[in-house]
Amino acid sequence: MRIVVIGSGAMGSLFAGRLAASGEDVSLVEVNPAQIDAVKERGLRLTIAGTDEIHNLPIGPAQTYSGVYDLVIVFTKGMHTEAAVNGASHLIGPETLALTVQNGIGNVEKIETVIPRARIIKGMTNWPATVVETGHVNVPGSGEIHLWPALGDGSPRFDEVCHVLNKAGLNCVADRSVDASIWEKLSFNAALNSVAAVTCMTVGEMSDSAEARKIIFSVLDEALATASALGVAIDRDRTRQSVEYALANHRHHKPSMLQDRLGGRPMEIDTITGAVASHAERLAVPAPVTATLTNLLLLIGK
């Protein structure tokens, strides 16, 4: 399968490297000159459970590529999704599929400006991956991908994508209830990311603070109530347990929104915390803590 991965951050690098190792024809679209130079000079380095892999992949801006691809996997941050897919529109043909397991919600709608929803696959992944340095990603454990077509109907081509991902060892699950998985992860991220970004606290520092924990679980409850109002069959206990587990075991971790704030980069506000606040307002679900955090993040981000 001819695959283009848009965005070579932690997750984009993991997927691109593993797919290439399994024999797929993979190209990386990237705009960061330092990342492009590093991968061209030294290859894409993945450290998976302590073992290094080097993958020599083509990398560069979208305009350096030509021809039509079978699958486009989008791994940009949410605020860049629409521009990234539009920039790669010359690589998209009438049969090209798109896949998004990006954080947050709203990415399907942005991809849909170029690729019809009937050819979009949505989902979530819990694979752990962090950037060690430019061109080097650490993958400390394993994870899964949960996917289902955005229009809700399975197909042989969807099955083919799942097969390709499984052949690459990425543990793909065809999941009709993928919206629940997406909203559980969204609720988790809205709770931990937003508080970390506003306070500049690590997960462990938040865990040790009664005030931070109160805010985190208020946001979590508001997000879960919003999902329920949308008719999404979320597992409240499982989501709460995942937050408790992170607070207890990921003490030194800086959530991605905090990393972006400290690095002077735009934060994923609209697709995570802001998305929950927006849906809650539309559905008349009380979400005062989430709305306040969203406004604080927007102030910080200016």
Residue 194: exposure state from Cβ atoms within 10 A (0-12, 13-18, ≥19): buried
pLDDT value for 6:
98
What residue segments make up the domains of the chain, in order of their start? 2-176, 179-301
pLDDT value for 152:
81
Residue matched to tokens 């985190």:
216
Other CB atoms within 10 A of residue 66 CB: 7
Other CB atoms within 10 A of residue 82 CB: 18
CA distances from 301 to 212, 266, 270 (A): 21, 7, 11
pLDDT value for 211:
98
pLDDT in single tens digits along all 302 residues of the chain? 999 999 999 999 999 999 999 999 999 999 999 999 999 999 999 999 899 999 999 999 999 999 999 999 999 999 999 999 999 999 999 999 999 999 999 999 999 999 999 999 999 999 989 899 999 999 988 899 999 999 988 899 999 999 999 999 999 999 999 999 999 999 999 999 999 999 999 999 999 999 999 999 999 999 999 999 999 999 999 999 999 999 999 898 899 899 899 989 999 999 999 999 999 999 999 999 999 999 999 999 87
Domains 2-176 and 179-301 share a fold: no
pLDDT value for 297:
97
CATH number for the region 2-176 comes to 3.40.50.720
What CATH architecture does domain 179-301 belong to?
Answer: Orthogonal Bundle (1.10)
pLDDT value for 301:
86
